[in-house]
Structure 1
Amino acid sequence: MPHRYIAHLDMDAFYASVELLRYPELKGRPVVIGGGRRHQPEPLADGSHRFATLRHYAGRGVVTTATYAARAYGVHSGMGLMKAAALAPDTVLLPVDFDEYRRYSKLFKAAVAEVVGDTPPVIEDRGIDEIYIDLSSQPQVEADRGAALARAIKARVFERTGLSCSIGVTPNKLLSKLASELDKPDGLTLLREADIETRIWPLPARRINGIGPKSSARLEALGIRTIGELAAADPAWLLEQFGRRYGAWLHAAAHGRDERPVVTHSEPVSLSRETTFDRDLHPRGDRAALSAIFTQLCEQVAGDLQRKGYVGKTIGLKLRYDDFKTVTRDLTLPLAVDDIASIRRAAGECLKRVPLERRLRLLGVRVGSLSRTADVVTPATPGPSKPPSTGSLFDD
């Protein structure tokens, strides 16, 4: 079997790094991005800016990303901004600007395609700030396992964007994902299967992409904390503890085995929209506000479906209560839909099947079981432009 050389490229602190291009005076300072579009920097007469800090933040927002200087204080993505303020009160707080992040995402991906040069390049888009690249077909990679090409990619990305990235090059996607994190920021890590024992096995098991918080906690409860300890576990015991499919995958992943190809295109499984409220809302006391938000989410999902050319049969609802408990409900329709009336009506039916006594902190709407609009032989009849009442507590 020919050698595979798979690269995983991960932009370094992407959102924060884009903001530092806009505000270079913040370089080296702890900075977090989050809190929606509030906290805009205030331009001053001398051309400088006055920035908001976490010290004065009050609200329910979370950290979207943080500079490495902020991470040194223990601040990380997904942390509540109030908790981050307790750790690093003088950290600068900037609002998110997804339009700008998407623009830079397109720039860095185009730069990679220039270097790789295949037509089309074998690049798997994994989101706004990361990609996989199959370098196996490149004639120059065999001698140095892709190091020269990876360095050329890093240089071109910096030239086109002014941003640094970290790249891991290994025989497969699983190892490359791990490798790209080992020497951040601005790292280049090459790993062979012979390096797994020394570079990969000492890492926490949760670092494997696919081991989430629940599985990580379960492994720790069973005495397995590192990837090496997972690799040493008896395969039959893993199957007994985690089931045949997931247990077998855990054993293979811990040994660095992954045969997945780099996929240049994949269809989405679902489309969703959700929002976390600035304050907890009660289904009865805040009925009007929740009804408006509910309708807006359905409108947004319908717009996403129509813009991307999909219809879906499974409508889902997601609620998170003030005690952080999350519930979901789904309803599968006989025909695939993409209009707001059908989506809201089905989501309203889901709403009738969840308890609505507690206050809510998050509401989300999802459409799954997607198919291309052009592939649907008998499309659903479009509903009215204004959604009807669902009969839910949000509308009574």
Structure 2
Amino acid sequence: MSTDQDHMIWHVRCRPDTTADGHHRVLDLLGDFTPVVQPLPPLAALAQLRGASRLFQAAPGRLAARFRIQALAKYGIDAHIGIADTWATAATASTHPGTSGILHLPGHRAVEQFLAPLPVRALHGIGPAQAARLEAFGLHTIGALAAMDETVVCRVLGGKAGRILRDRARGIAPRAITARRMPESTSAFHAFDRDVYDPVLVRAALPDLVTTVGQRIRGREQIARKLTLAVRFADGSTVERTRALPQPSAHTDDLKVTVLRNLDSMAFQRADPPPPRDGRRPPPRRRRPRDTDLPGPRTREPALPGTRPRPNQHPLRPPPRWPSQRLPQGELIPLSWPTA
């Protein structure tokens, strides 16, 4: 017979200074408590307590305290744990564990009382732009977001994003926890403070990203087979290039050579910057001189030799017109010219 405690979920969040090897040790220790562990690198993990409470004869809160003490005693790693019936609520709870390092939300009423007063930016999975848009419409807390009609939230944030965030604000997250190994891919990104028009600056930002990715996969004891480089432009469009390594490797130099080849294949060129927005005019561009810019009077060029005018028309005179004198009364104008 299953109880509500069998469906409780842990969200374990390590301290920011935890190394990749320490994160591996935390995952191994979680495996001693439950077989359903989902890694969330680089510093977190999810665990489903399905039958663990009955096996260890301890409530989820006491079991989490036991896990935290063992992590501190064996590896010197301090972890904060949020416990709830959904993974999204547990992830939000792990960011507010209090002095004990553990926050247990045993039921729906406890979840509602915990989430309602928090600022909307504290909701797990919400982005800064989405939070700013909700605040612009007067929704400053998670409780206000949960109480708002779904149609209104979908109009503000979009259909899918609005439904997901409103459900999380109400403590609903239907995604199940699945036991997985460490993920088979990783990524790192660099955002410039302003729009960059020089490909040299883009190239200079790549070594730090390659070093970060190399350290991460070496910490997982993995190797890379191919690399993907994605570049986002100012208009929001993205260009991607993927290249396989000559042989699988985790060395930084091998990764750097491959990612630079991806960048060279994009064939970026230096772009002209847009005009400044402070009201100043950009310097005038140089143009090629025209005939009107040449000094001196303009003269008509002579016609080419052998050029003949069209019939019945002189090149310098207008075509003939009807005579302007008044004709005598009764005289008719001929409709056809006499021929010789």
TM-score normalised by the shorter chain: which range applies?
A: 0.5 to 0.7
Aligned to 2:102: 188
Quote the Cα distance in structure 1 between the aligned partners of 2:182 and 2:270: 30
CA contact (8 A) 1:180 1:189 kept: yes
Of 119, 133, 149, 2:47 maps to 133
Aligned to 1:9: 12
Of 213, 220, 239, 1:330 maps to 239
Of 246, 256, 260, 1:344 maps to 260
Quote the Cα distance in structure 1 between the aligned partners of 2:46 and 2:157: 29
**Per the alignment, do residues 184 and 130 of structure 1 end up closer, same or farther by CA in structure 2, a change over 3 Å counting?**
farther
**Per the alignment, do residues 139 and 298 of structure 1 end up closer, same or farther by CA in structure 2, a change over 3 Å counting?**
closer
Alpha-carbon offset, residue 232 of structure 1:
0.8
1:1-396 matches, cutoff 5 A = 3=4, 4-11=7-14, 13-15=15-17, 101-114=19-32, 116=33, 118=34, 121-140=35-54, 145-191=59-105, 192-265=107-180, 271-273=186-188, 283=198, 287=200, 294=206, 308=222, 311=225, 315-317=229-231, 329-331=238-240, 337-338=244-245, 343-350=259-266, 352=268, 355=271, 357=273
Alpha-carbon offset, residue 272 of structure 1:
3.8
Letter matched to residue 181 of structure 1: T
**Per the alignment, do residues 326 and 240 of structure 1 end up closer, same or farther by CA in structure 2, a change over 3 Å counting?**
closer
CA contact (8 A) 1:7 1:168 kept: yes
* Segment of structure 1 superposing worse, 295-304 or 223-232: 295-304
**Per the alignment, do residues 313 and 102 of structure 1 end up closer, same or farther by CA in structure 2, a change over 3 Å counting?**
closer
**Larger RCO: 1 or 2 (CA < 8 Å, sep 6+):** 1
**Per the alignment, do residues 238 and 162 of structure 1 end up closer, same or farther by CA in structure 2, a change over 3 Å counting?**
same
CA RMSD after TM alignment: 4.0
* Segment of structure 1 superposing worse, 261-270 or 124-133: 261-270
Quote the Cα distance in structure 2 between the aligned partners of 1:357 and 1:270: 36
**Per the alignment, do residues 260 and 207 of structure 1 end up closer, same or farther by CA in structure 2, a change over 3 Å counting?**
same
Unaligned runs of at least 5 residues, structure 2: 247-254, 275-340
Alpha-carbon offset, residue 301 of structure 1:
6.5
Instruction: Give the SS at the match of 2:65.
Output: helix
Letter matched to residue 7 of structure 1: W
Alpha-carbon offset, residue 125 of structure 1:
1.3
Letter matched to residue 10 of structure 1: R
**Per the alignment, do residues 337 and 259 of structure 1 end up closer, same or farther by CA in structure 2, a change over 3 Å counting?**
same
More strand by share: 1
Quote the Cα distance in structure 2 between the aligned partners of 1:296 and 1:146: 41
**Per the alignment, do residues 162 and 294 of structure 1 end up closer, same or farther by CA in structure 2, a change over 3 Å counting?**
closer
Quote the Cα distance in structure 2 between the aligned partners of 1:356 and 1:267: 44
**Per the alignment, do residues 215 and 276 of structure 1 end up closer, same or farther by CA in structure 2, a change over 3 Å counting?**
closer
Instruction: Give the SS at the match of 2:13.
Output: strand
Larger radius of gyration between Structure 1 and Structure 2: 2
The sequence identity of aligned pairs, in percent, is 20
Quote the Cα distance in structure 2 between the aligned partners of 1:242 and 1:165: 33
TM-score by length of 2: 0.61
Count residues in correspondence: 257
**Per the alignment, do residues 107 and 226 of structure 1 end up closer, same or farther by CA in structure 2, a change over 3 Å counting?**
same
CA contact (8 A) 1:316 1:328 kept: no
**Per the alignment, do residues 104 and 113 of structure 1 end up closer, same or farther by CA in structure 2, a change over 3 Å counting?**
same
Quote the Cα distance in structure 1 between the aligned partners of 2:241 and 2:45: 33
CA contact (8 A) 2:22 2:77 kept: no
Quote the Cα distance in structure 2 between the aligned partners of 1:292 and 1:185: 43
Quote the Cα distance in structure 2 between the aligned partners of 1:165 and 1:305: 22
Unaligned runs of at least 5 residues, structure 1: 19-100, 320-324, 359-396
Letter matched to residue 344 of structure 1: L
Quote the Cα distance in structure 1 between the aligned partners of 2:40 and 2:173: 17
Quote the Cα distance in structure 1 between the aligned partners of 2:114 and 2:208: 48
Instruction: Give the SS at the match of 1:182.
Output: coil
Please list the CA deviations of residues 68-122 of structure 1 after superposition, one character each: whole Å capped at 9, or x if unmatched: xxxxxxxxxxxxxxxxxxxxxxxxxxxxxxxxx22332333333333x0x4xx21
CA contact (8 A) 1:8 1:180 kept: yes
Alpha-carbon offset, residue 157 of structure 1:
0.9
Alpha-carbon offset, residue 218 of structure 1:
0.5
Alpha-carbon offset, residue 281 of structure 1:
9.5
Quote the Cα distance in structure 1 between the aligned partners of 2:133 and 2:91: 23
Instruction: Give the SS at the match of 2:47.
Output: strand
Instruction: Give the SS at the match of 1:177.
Output: helix
Alpha-carbon offset, residue 241 of structure 1:
2.1
Letter matched to residue 165 of structure 1: A
Instruction: Give the SS at the match of 1:140.
Output: helix
Please list the CA deviations of residues 35-69 of structure 1 after superposition, one character each: whole Å capped at 9, or x if unmatched: xxxxxxxxxxxxxxxxxxxxxxxxxxxxxxxxxxx
* Segment of structure 1 superposing worse, 207-216 or 188-197: 188-197
Please list the CA deviations of residues 283-319 of structure 1 after superposition, one character each: whole Å capped at 9, or x if unmatched: 38xx5x8756657867987998998455558531258
